[in-house]
Amino acid sequence: MAQLSERAASGSCQPGENAEAEAAKLNQSALEFMLGAQKMMLEELIFFGDEMLERTRIEMQIFNEFVTKMAGAHSVRDVRTMYQQCGEHQLDFFRRDSERLFKHSERMIATTSKLIKGLPLN
């Protein structure tokens, strides 16, 4: 009995202290994970809004170009040329949009990996 009180007085009760430290570490890592996930979701919403605005702007520009060329077409040959050029612009837009989406997906995978590993996001 005297030995137990001596151990308690000397501070050798490590298991309780270690458990508290471990619980604090787990709580801290859970908090960091949740904050990281929240930050990632917010960044995704901002990215989505920006992408939709940019996509709308480009689509309007392509449509405006189409209407302008359609108004300037005076023959079947001009209409065929106009459709060909506008089709090329649309395909180019899809290509750039797909590349942007691919790069964004790579960035999301890297960010998610960092978040799961517990590394800082920035």
Closest CA to 26 of 110, 118, 92, 112: 118
pLDDT confidence tier of residue 53, bands split at 50, 70 and 90? very high
| pLDDT of amino acid 57 | 92
| First-residue to last-residue Cα distance in the chain | 54
* The pLDDT of residue 6 is above 70: no
Give the pLDDT confidence of 62-119 residue by residue, as tens digits.
889 888 888 888 888 888 888 888 888 889 988 988 898 898 888 888 888 887 887 7
Summarised one tens digit per residue, pLDDT across range 16-38 is: 678 888 888 888 888 888 888 88
